[in-house]
Copies of this chain bind each other. A is one copy, B any other.
Amino acid sequence: MTVDERAAMGRALELARDGWGRVHPNPLVGAVVLRDGELVGEGAHLEFGGPHAEVTALAEAGEAARGATCVVTLEPCAHHGKTPPCVEALANAGVSRVVYAADDPAEGAGGAERLRSLGVAVQGGLLGEEARSLNAPFFARGRSRPWVAVKVATSLDGYLADPTGRSQWISGPEARAYVHWLRAGFDAIAVGRGTVAADDPRLTVRGTVEPRIPPRRVVLSRSGNVPEAATVVRTAGEIPTTVVCDPARADATRARLDTPGLDVLAADGLLGALRGLGDRGVGSMLVEGGAELANALLDADLVDRVYWITAPRWLGAGTAAFRRPAGSLDTPAGWRFVERRALGDDTLLVIERGECSPES
């Protein structure tokens, strides 16, 4: 079976995911070496500080790389960072053509130009949208707030808890495993105070991927009234927890929750909270509930992506996941689906804002 460059890029995007949770704040990158329609080398950036995808793929291809095409999800880097520049590795291996998906917006930019100057043919933009979506937080850098995703699991009719308030097992084991995988790739996992009080979640990563840096736990609570006995407070010494509250409540909250690993961030409003978290190095944050927090973020236009897991059941009543202000069909849709797939018996729909202003 021979593959074309588009299929090869699809494979490279697949490989890139293998670095999930292990390379950020670096981007996920995958690469393949394509020779006469055959994949002769594959690689991914798997560990922060480890070899880049191109280098691994070239090593696997060996002599077959000479005259071949390297298909890579991100513009190859031209700078000396933790590893030597990939553009030189590509040229030295004798690759005659490089096809990449997304331009590198970061310090390494200029790779395409440098490759051309080394005599390598270069084409960018193949499946660029998919590649940017894969590394959305990376491409959103430079904004004043973290890239924010909301995860919600609902019934077919949009309830995230039944009338008795239970929500924990609305989705199946594959969906729950997926959520642990998802968490591993974020800098922070956030919930509102109500969710801590109701469910006392651990908000840790307990799946197949062990994150290089366990995501910080964040509790957004204007009042700061997070129970001292909450798991995320008690275990802050193991995995840091940040409680974000109103400035007027910060001192009292700090005094009450005086625990190693726990810090209290004083912030005005949701945007203030996000900016404060961004200042502390949170580049991406997954919001897991509750509905009040998720909808407040949506209403403030502060959500970049929604991971919506739907279970094949009806609930008829309970806690509605989405409570948006009344709109009309006159306004543009504003969002777009970027993924639709099965998670066991459940369905995952991933939705992104159509565009996102840099500052909101």
Query: Interface of A with B (CB < 8 Å)?
Result: 1, 156-158, 162-164, 166, 169-170, 298, 308, 310-318, 322-329, 331-337, 340-342, 345-347, 349, 351
Contacts and interface: CB of A to CB of B under 8 A. Distances in A.
A333 B172 CA distance: 10
B326 A336 contact: no
A164 B349 CA distance: 28
12 contacts: A1-B1, A158-B322, A166-B328, A312-B333, A312-B335, A313-B333, A314-B322, A315-B326, A315-B328, A316-B326, A317-B327, A337-B346
Nearest to A326: B317
Given A314-B334, A318-B326, 8 more contacts: A156-B335, A157-B322, A163-B328, A166-B328, A313-B327, A313-B331, A317-B327, A340-B341
A314 B346 CA distance: 22
Give the number of times this chain occurs in the complex, counting copies. 2
A315 B156 CA distance: 17
Contact of A329 (B1, B166, B334, B341): B166
Contact of A345 (B166, B323, B336): B336
A51 to B, nearest CB: 32
A190 to B, nearest CB: 21
A317 B334 CA distance: 17
A346 B329 CA distance: 15
A316 B311 contact: no
B312 A316 contact: no
Contacts of A316: 323-327
Contacts of A328: 162-164, 166, 315
